[in-house]
Amino acid sequence: MSSTLPFWILNSARNSIATLQGGRRLYSRCASNRNKSRWRLFSQGPGALKSSAPCSGFALQKAYRHTSTEEDDFHLQLSPEQVNEVLRAGESAHKILDLVSGAPNSVLRFESNQLAANSPVEDRRGVASCLQTSGLMFGIFDGHGGHACAQAVSERLFYYVAVSLMSQQTLERMEGAMESMKPLMPILQWLKHPGDSIYKDVTSVHLDHLRVYWQELLDLHMEMGLNIKEALMYSFQRLDSDISLEVQAPLEDEMTRNLSLQVAFSGATACMAHVDGVHLHVANAGDCRAILGVQEDNGMWSCLPLTRDHNAWNQAELSRLKREHPESEDRTVIVDNRLLGVLMPCRAFGDVQLKWSKELQRSVLERGFDTEALNIYQFTPPHYHTPPYLTAEPEVTYHRLRPQDKFLVLASDGLWDVLDNEDVVRLVVEHLAEASRHKPDLAQRPANLGLMQSLLQQRRAQGLRAADQNAATRLIRHAIGSNEYGEMEPERLTAMLTLPEDLARMYRDDITVTVVYFNSDSIDAYYKGG
């Protein structure tokens, strides 16, 4: 069984034509992976897969790119070290050391990782601390139909939130600095992984729009700024409307114009958390998910979901959609578990195809964009009568952190498709347990060479089992490497990682995971200190 996939890859590499036969287990996985692609219309490959998956087999023709005459160059079997290298490439981890008014931060550290299936990857992530107000922000942005929208949202959303939270006084200072052409004080400090796409400094257009936003906030004359919940609500919707307006406004610079078009015509779901002391807010639009790992006093672990997926399996969403559109559309607004039969999530940034009127879409695109070169999908779904069908309005959850809340997991749907909430909590807990089970310590150094050698060999043996230092890596490893019984299969893991670029997306989605650990002591102290 376990050799099916590697064997198949072998064939695909050698013969240029891959035939997959009777891979029953894989099949079940393929078939159960409901959303191989968000945009069903556009991705022929996954679409074909979906329709043919229930059959007994399918043949897939694929041109294998011969990169070298040496077939040996094509490593079919990765060594465990190479597997680790591939998995760990996207790792990042930070300890949060800064104190919040003298007390340790409620966030102890975070660990994050990303594994691409799309090429280029369409997921984005962001971690930043607000410099003008307090609080840390963690975000996961899952793009579809390209990465432009996810990239833009990951670059810009946190700025909108940070500005929304600023006091009147801070906003005035910002405005003052802008007026007198002085350098703006820093708004955010990003904690980036070196491999994350470089965040462009807020371009002048974006900054202008941000400035319009804060000018409007100034006009509201609220001394303390918005509360966090409002700030998150407004920021999501404001950014989405800016994305939508930017492409309608005449832009002179062709680069910016093309970019904003790509951003508006692709989409991204977003899930972000704002942590300030014991106040945890999670805002979600789409099918990324955030859960909390909770350890009760009796030591039992449980899972507390902080978001609800906005998709066709969510009754509340279905009711909302039905409520927002005329009764005549009840049967057409969700078709085949997709919004208008095309989109998996029912809330997202961008995707103006599902937000604008047909006329607006046409008039914007008729302005002479080279849509083909920009990779933009121009279409109107059937039964498109009462736009907008899609919104970026988030659902915001507030949770007051308790000492028993140990960690928060934010991840894109690539993870949740294959692991459920309990699996994820269990894996992180196992990870914590392993990390606390120390390797044999070198601090009390054995005196002689023989003892040292056996100690080192023990350490090495232990090290091999606990391959992951990073909980996010562990989650990804299990997400793609476990069979249907939840057991790790190294062959499967290797096979999934060696899938050729253009096939990877059929077997797995981009996965982005951020695990945030809370400092129970400092939360405890918060309650005791009042």
Partner 1 sequence: MFSRLLSVARRQRTGRGWQNWSSGRSGAPAAEAHSVALPAQAQVVICGGGIMGTSVAYHLSKMGWKDIVLLEQGRLAAGSTRFCAGILSTARHLTIEQKMADYSNKLYQQLEQETGIQTGYIRTGSIFLAQTQDRLISLKRINSRLNVIGIPSEIISPKKVAELHPLLNVHDLVGAMHVPEDAVVSSADVALALASAASQNGVQIYDRTSVLHVMVKKGQVTGVETDKGQIECQYFVNCAGQWAYELGLSNEEPVSIPLHACEHFYLLTRPLETPLQSNTPTVVDADGRIYIRNWQGGILSGGFEKNPKPIFTEGKNQLEIQNLQEDWDHFEPLLSSLLRRMPELETLEIMKLVNCPETFTPDMRCIMGESPAVQGYYVLVGMNSAGLSFAGGAGRYLAEWMVHGYPSESIWELDLKRFGALQSSRTFLRHRVMEVMPLLYDLKVPRWDFQTGRQLRTSPLYDRLDAQGARWMEKHGFERPKYFVPPDKDLLALEQSKTFYKPDWFDIVESEVKCCKEAVCVIDMSSFTKFEITSTGDQALEILQYLFSNDLDVPVGHIVHTGMLNEGGGYENDCSIARLSKRSFFMISPTDQQVHCWAWLKKHMPEDSNLLLEDVTWKYTALNLIGPRAVDVLSELSYAPMTPDHFPSLFCKYALHVYNEVMSVGQKYGIRNAGYYALRSLRIEKFFAFWGQDLNTLTTPLECGRESRVKLDKGMDFIGRDALLQQKQNGVYKRLTMFILDDHDTDLDLWPWWGEPIYRNGQYAGKTTSSAYSYTLERHVCLGFVHNFSEDTGEEQVVTADFINRGEYEIDIAGHRFQAKAKLYPVTSLFTHKRRKDDVELSDLHGK
31 binds partner 1 (CB under 8 A): no
Please give the residues from 416 up to 445 whose contact with partner 1 meets the rule CB under 8 A.
442, 445
Binding positions for partner 1, 208-267, rule CB under 8 A: none
CA distance 370 to 378: 11
Question: How far is 64 from 500, CA to CA, in rounded Å?
Answer: 9
DSSP-assigned beta bridge partners for residue 59: 19
452 binds partner 1 (CB under 8 A): yes
453 binds partner 1 (CB under 8 A): yes
| Least spacing, CB of residue 453 vs partner 1, in Å | 5
x-or-dash string of contact with partner 1, 70-99, rule CB under 8 A: --x---------------------------
Q: Is residue 141 within 8 Å of 126, Cβ to Cβ?
A: yes
At closest approach, how far in Å is the CB of 93 from partner 1?
A: 19
Q: What does the alpha-carbon distance between residue 359 and residue 355 come to, in Å, rounded to a whole number?
A: 12
Residue 79 CB, shortest distance to partner 1, in Å, is 12
Question: In terms of CB distance, is 16 or 51 closer to partner 1?
Answer: 16
Q: Counting contacts by CB under 8 A, is residue 298 touching partner 1? A: no
Closest distance between partner 1 and the C-beta of residue 442, in Å? 6
- Residue 412 in contact with residue 511, Cβ under 8 Å? yes
Residue 456 binding partner 1, by CB under 8 A: yes
69 binds partner 1 (CB under 8 A): yes
Q: Determine if 65 is a binding residue for partner 1 (CB under 8 A).
A: no
Examine residue 194 and tell whether it contacts partner 1 (CB under 8 A). no
Report the residue number, 61 or 68, with the smaller CB distance to partner 1: 68
247/254 Cα distance (integer angstroms): 11
418: nearest Cα among 30, 22, 13: 30
Given the complex with partner 1, which of 245 and 442 has the nearer CB atom? 442
Question: Whole-number minimum distance, CB 441 to partner 1, in Å?
Answer: 11
Least distance in angstroms from the C-beta of 89 to partner 1: 16
CB of 450 to partner 1, least distance (A): 3
Contact segment (CB under 8 A) with partner 1 among 15-23, 284-292, 319-327, 458-466 equals: 458-466
Cβ 443 to partner 1, closest distance in Å? 11
Over the Cα atoms of the chain, what is R_g? 25
Close Cβ partners of 130 (under 8 Å, ≥ 6 residues apart): 136, 137, 161, 162, 165, 187, 188
**Could you tell me the two tokens for 109?**
């550290």
CA dist 392 and 399 (Å) reads: 22
Which secondary-structure segment (H or E) carries 407?
strand 405-411
Q: Which is nearer to partner 1, 16 or 453 (CB)?
A: 453
- Residues touching partner 1: how many (CB under 8 A)? 17
Q: Are 339 and 333 in contact (CB under 8 A)?
A: yes
Considering the complex, state which of residue 59 and residue 442 has its C-beta at the smaller distance from partner 1. 442
Other CB atoms within 10 Å distance of the CB of residue 31: 13
Amino acid identity of residue 330, one-letter, is D
3-state secondary structure of 512: strand
Residue 455 C-beta: closest distance to partner 1, Å: 8
370 is a site residue for partner 1 (CB under 8 A): no
The residue count for the chain: 530
Nearest to 273 by CA among 420, 104, 401: 401
Residue whose CB is less far from partner 1, 437 or 445: 445
Task: Give SS3 for 242.
Answer: helix
In whole angstroms, give the CA distance from residue 189 to residue 183. 16
Positions touching partner 1 (CB under 8 A) are: 68-69, 72, 442, 445-450, 452-453, 456-457, 459-460, 463
